[in-house]
Amino acid sequence: MAEVLPLRAWRYSEEWTNTLEDLVAPLFDVVSEKQREMLYHHPFNSIHLSVPQGDNPPVQAQKTLEKWKNEGILKQDDLPGIYVYYQYFRLPGEGEMRCRKGFIAQIKAYDWSENQILRHESTIVSAVTDRIDLLAATQIQASPTHGLYEDESQELEKYMDAAIASPLYEVEDYQGVREVLAVIHDARIISRFLEIMKSKQVILADGHHRLEGAIEYRKQQKDSFPELTWKGSDFHLMYFTNAHGNDLKILPTHRLYYGLDLSDEELLEKLSQWFDMRPFGDAEELATYTFQRKWSFGLVLKDQAWIIKFKPELWSQIKPELPVSLRNLELVILHEVLFHQILGITSEDQRKSKNLAFERNFSRCIREVREGKADFAVITREIDLEQVLEVCKSGAVMPQKSTYFYPKALGGLLFASIRQEEFESNYEAFFEKY
């Protein structure tokens, strides 16, 4: 049973509402260096809490947070609520406006073994440690992770649609997405949210490192406040979206490789043992190529481009110990064949290899190879949501950077405190039978 609670969010005070676009920030793991430097120039941007600077960043973030609280820059809402969060966006080349509907609440930071929150990617230890240290120092969460639930009835959407008609905020973010936030305070409606969510498993779409940090912090604090039913250190901020009837878009993440020890001819010869190879005239045209055939990719070298398709008769050689749902994934085949079998990088080493980079921007991939910085690029296509759900339910995990759910949730729209005196509320009222 997934335990979900409303929250008394900390938010920028009303005097900052008209300049909120200057205060929000991308998530810590997608913000570029140039974006960071620009955002750091604003003394009250939320990046100072999510990606703090200084010799001891967690301590610096804690001092910044206390200063903002004391000066009234951040204020805590009086009542707990469910925060409705809609994201309006268009994809390149589309005229149609999409809307991803969801809500932000608190969920218990379940250990993966409890099988309440299912992951699809592994985490990197150093990145998790950073998140634990930051959470322990500040006891604040500056952005929600993103979880999917499945509810074909779509009952909660009617409550969310009603709330979003009276928004708290409406901003345009760094992605060009219109972000709209509203709140539900009605205890009867909140109770219905909690009732529906308690029977759901949650598929973690984004935020594996932040949730892993919350899980470890919950373990560290397991002996604190033993007399209490609800402890702040047990909970985690999450943005929930319904996998049914929602505008959930997964964009591809391409691969770049640096420091190749083989010549282009040697690489192509080794690839031909595993893939059917077809020359492709202009690498730029791969941006609109639809990759209709299963297990196919684009390969960009400095002076040539190829369409490569994995030979299905070799599929039995792809990690037979893995679940079929995982072995069927194109990125599993790509990573096992190209990076492991051909280039000799084990699955574990791939996660921390300095030779392998992940890039969402197609044009940047082409530029890196054409300028001789990268040896080659592999152009991939997006994974289907159904495949993500199938792998998660199997208990397996995908190669890193397999998914890029778009648009990303935004940091700084609200903050969730796990400090016990700020977390506490009359949660019992939401479990009464109406």
pTM exceeding the 0.85 threshold for the entire prediction: yes
pLDDT at 433: 64
Taking the C-alpha atoms of residue 79 and residue 46, their distance in angstroms, rounded to an integer, is 23
Taking the C-alpha atoms of residue 264 and residue 309, their distance in angstroms, rounded to an integer, is 18
pLDDT at 312: 94
Taking the C-alpha atoms of residue 104 and residue 192, their distance in angstroms, rounded to an integer, is 15
CA dihedral 110, 113, 115, 119 (to 10 degrees): 80
Contact, 232 vs 106, CB < 8 A?
no
Q: Residue type for 342, please?
A: I
Supply φ then ψ for residue 256, to 5 degrees: -120, 145
What radius of gyration, in Å, describes the C-alpha atoms of the chain?
23
Read off the pLDDT of residues 284-294 as tens digits, 9 standing for 90 and up.
999 888 888 88
For residue 181, give the nearest of 35, 81, 72, 96 by alpha carbon: 81
For residue 10, give the nearest of 331, 417, 429 by alpha carbon: 417
Q: Sign of the CA dihedral 32, 35, 41, 43?
A: negative
Helix (H, G, I), strand (E, B) or coil at 145: strand
Token output for 289: 């190529």
Contact, 427 vs 80, CB < 8 A?
yes
Burial 73-88 (b: 16+ CB within 10 A, else e): bbeebeebbbbbbbbb
Helix (H, G, I), strand (E, B) or coil at 21: helix
pLDDT in tens, the chain (434 residues): 789 999 999 999 999 988 999 999 987 777 777 888 899 999 999 999 999 998 999 999 999 999 999 999 999 999 999 999 999 998 877 778 999 999 999 999 999 899 999 988 776 666 788 899 999 999 999 999 999 999 999 999 999 999 999 999 999 988 889 999 999 999 999 999 999 999 999 999 988 889 999 999 999 999 999 999 999 999 999 999 999 876 778 889 999 999 999 999 999 999 999 999 999 988 999 988 888 888 999 999 999 999 999 999 999 999 888 888 888 899 999 999 999 999 999 888 887 888 999 998 999 999 999 999 999 999 998 888 888 888 888 887 888 788 888 899 999 999 999 999 999 999 999 987 65
Read off the pLDDT of residues 293-303 as tens digits, 9 standing for 90 and up.
889 999 999 99
Alpha carbon distances (Å) from 118 to 1, 148, 249, 397, 433: 13, 10, 19, 10, 30
Contact, 118 vs 155, CB < 8 A?
no
